[in-house]
Amino acid sequence: MDNLIISVGRQIGSGGNEIAKMLAHEFGCKFYDKEILNLAAEKSGFSPKIFERNDENHGLIHSASGFFERLFNPYSNSISDENLFQIQSEVIYKIGQNENCVIMGRCADYILRNNPQLFSVFITADEEERCKEVAKRLESDYETTTPQRHGEQHKTTTSA
Protein backbone atom coordinates (compact mmCIF):
# COMPACT_ATOMS: atom_id res chain seq x y z
CA MET A 1 0.00 0.00 0.00
CA ASP A 2 1.36 3.43 -0.91
CA ASN A 3 0.93 5.66 2.12
CA LEU A 4 1.89 9.28 2.50
CA ILE A 5 4.29 9.47 5.43
CA ILE A 6 5.59 12.84 6.56
CA SER A 7 8.26 12.94 9.23
CA VAL A 8 8.73 16.34 10.87
CA GLY A 9 11.79 17.28 12.87
CA ARG A 10 12.21 20.72 14.37
CA GLN A 11 14.23 23.06 16.50
CA ILE A 12 12.66 23.99 19.80
CA GLY A 13 10.44 27.04 19.44
CA SER A 14 10.35 26.90 15.64
CA GLY A 15 6.64 26.16 15.41
CA GLY A 16 7.31 22.67 14.05
CA ASN A 17 4.51 21.07 16.05
CA GLU A 18 1.93 23.50 14.69
CA ILE A 19 3.23 23.05 11.14
CA ALA A 20 3.08 19.26 11.49
CA LYS A 21 -0.54 19.46 12.65
CA MET A 22 -1.38 21.73 9.69
CA LEU A 23 0.22 19.23 7.30
CA ALA A 24 -1.80 16.40 8.81
CA HIS A 25 -4.99 18.42 8.42
CA GLU A 26 -4.16 19.54 4.87
CA PHE A 27 -3.40 16.01 3.67
CA GLY A 28 -6.09 14.26 5.72
CA CYS A 29 -3.50 12.26 7.67
CA LYS A 30 -3.41 11.15 11.27
CA PHE A 31 -0.99 13.18 13.40
CA TYR A 32 1.30 11.27 15.79
CA ASP A 33 3.50 12.66 18.49
CA LYS A 34 3.19 11.47 22.08
CA GLU A 35 0.45 9.05 20.96
CA ILE A 36 3.30 6.80 19.86
CA LEU A 37 4.30 6.40 23.52
CA ASN A 38 0.83 5.08 24.38
CA LEU A 39 0.81 2.73 21.40
CA ALA A 40 4.26 1.42 22.40
CA ALA A 41 2.99 0.85 25.94
CA GLU A 42 -0.01 -1.08 24.60
CA LYS A 43 2.22 -3.18 22.34
CA SER A 44 4.70 -4.02 25.08
CA GLY A 45 2.40 -4.31 28.06
CA PHE A 46 4.57 -1.81 29.95
CA SER A 47 3.10 1.19 31.71
CA PRO A 48 2.84 4.33 29.57
CA LYS A 49 4.70 6.10 32.39
CA ILE A 50 7.86 4.15 31.53
CA PHE A 51 7.80 5.50 27.98
CA GLU A 52 6.88 9.00 29.16
CA ARG A 53 9.70 9.07 31.70
CA ASN A 54 12.17 7.86 29.08
CA ASP A 55 10.88 10.49 26.64
CA GLU A 56 11.33 13.28 29.19
CA ASN A 57 14.70 12.10 30.47
CA HIS A 58 16.44 11.12 27.26
CA GLY A 59 19.91 12.52 27.45
CA LEU A 60 23.52 11.70 28.04
CA ILE A 61 23.33 11.71 31.85
CA HIS A 62 20.21 9.54 31.87
CA SER A 63 21.74 7.09 29.39
CA ALA A 64 25.00 6.93 31.31
CA SER A 65 23.24 6.31 34.63
CA GLY A 66 21.24 3.47 33.06
CA PHE A 67 24.43 1.99 31.62
CA PHE A 68 26.20 2.02 34.99
CA GLU A 69 23.14 0.65 36.76
CA ARG A 70 23.11 -2.34 34.39
CA LEU A 71 26.89 -2.70 34.62
CA PHE A 72 27.05 -2.84 38.42
CA ASN A 73 23.67 -4.45 39.02
CA PRO A 74 23.03 -7.10 36.38
CA TYR A 75 19.81 -8.09 38.18
CA SER A 76 18.30 -4.64 37.81
CA ASN A 77 14.71 -4.58 36.59
CA SER A 78 15.24 -1.40 34.60
CA ILE A 79 14.26 -1.49 30.96
CA SER A 80 17.01 -0.20 28.72
CA ASP A 81 16.61 2.86 26.55
CA GLU A 82 17.49 0.63 23.61
CA ASN A 83 14.57 -1.71 24.32
CA LEU A 84 12.14 1.17 24.65
CA PHE A 85 13.46 2.67 21.40
CA GLN A 86 13.06 -0.70 19.66
CA ILE A 87 9.43 -0.96 20.76
CA GLN A 88 8.68 2.60 19.62
CA SER A 89 10.48 1.90 16.33
CA GLU A 90 8.26 -1.11 15.68
CA VAL A 91 5.15 1.00 16.33
CA ILE A 92 6.36 3.76 13.99
CA TYR A 93 7.25 1.23 11.30
CA LYS A 94 3.80 -0.36 11.50
CA ILE A 95 2.07 3.03 11.34
CA GLY A 96 4.10 3.88 8.24
CA GLN A 97 3.08 0.61 6.59
CA ASN A 98 -0.63 0.94 7.32
CA GLU A 99 -1.78 4.54 7.05
CA ASN A 100 -1.20 8.07 5.83
CA CYS A 101 0.42 9.91 8.69
CA VAL A 102 2.45 12.82 9.95
CA ILE A 103 4.91 11.82 12.67
CA MET A 104 6.46 14.47 14.89
CA GLY A 105 10.06 13.65 15.75
CA ARG A 106 10.71 10.34 17.52
CA CYS A 107 13.46 9.49 14.97
CA ALA A 108 10.76 8.59 12.44
CA ASP A 109 12.95 9.93 9.63
CA TYR A 110 15.61 7.38 10.57
CA ILE A 111 13.27 4.51 11.38
CA LEU A 112 11.41 4.87 8.07
CA ARG A 113 14.44 5.90 5.98
CA ASN A 114 14.04 2.94 3.61
CA ASN A 115 10.37 3.60 2.94
CA PRO A 116 10.06 5.26 -0.50
CA GLN A 117 6.82 6.97 0.62
CA LEU A 118 8.61 8.93 3.35
CA PHE A 119 8.85 12.68 3.00
CA SER A 120 11.01 14.24 5.74
CA VAL A 121 11.08 17.90 6.66
CA PHE A 122 13.00 19.80 9.29
CA ILE A 123 11.54 23.04 10.63
CA THR A 124 13.86 25.78 11.77
CA ALA A 125 13.47 29.43 12.60
CA ASP A 126 15.54 32.45 13.47
CA GLU A 127 17.15 32.03 16.90
CA GLU A 128 15.62 35.20 18.31
CA GLU A 129 12.12 34.15 17.20
CA ARG A 130 12.58 30.71 18.70
CA CYS A 131 13.68 32.20 22.03
CA LYS A 132 10.65 34.51 22.05
CA GLU A 133 8.35 31.55 21.37
CA VAL A 134 9.90 29.50 24.19
CA ALA A 135 9.64 32.48 26.56
CA LYS A 136 5.96 32.85 25.70
CA ARG A 137 5.33 29.15 26.27
CA LEU A 138 7.17 29.19 29.60
CA GLU A 139 5.50 32.44 30.62
CA SER A 140 9.00 33.79 31.12
CA ASP A 141 10.81 36.81 29.85
CA TYR A 142 12.88 36.79 26.70
CA GLU A 143 16.14 37.49 28.52
CA THR A 144 16.02 34.27 30.55
CA THR A 145 15.49 32.11 27.47
CA THR A 146 18.21 33.48 25.24
CA PRO A 147 20.87 30.93 24.30
CA GLN A 148 23.69 33.12 25.52
CA ARG A 149 23.38 34.77 28.86
CA HIS A 150 26.34 36.59 30.36
CA GLY A 151 28.63 34.86 27.87
CA GLU A 152 27.53 31.35 28.90
CA GLN A 153 25.56 28.88 26.83
CA HIS A 154 22.00 28.47 28.12
CA LYS A 155 19.93 25.47 27.12
CA THR A 156 16.17 25.24 27.20
CA THR A 157 14.89 21.76 27.99
CA THR A 158 11.20 21.95 27.19
CA SER A 159 9.87 20.28 24.08
CA ALA A 160 8.40 22.21 21.19
Report whether pLDDT(40) > 50: yes
DSSP string, 109-146: HHHTTT-TTEEEEEE---HHHHHHHHHHHHT--HHHHS
Task: Please tell me the pTM assigned to this model.
Answer: 0.73
* pLDDT, position 138: 85
Residue 106 has pLDDT above 80, yes or no: yes
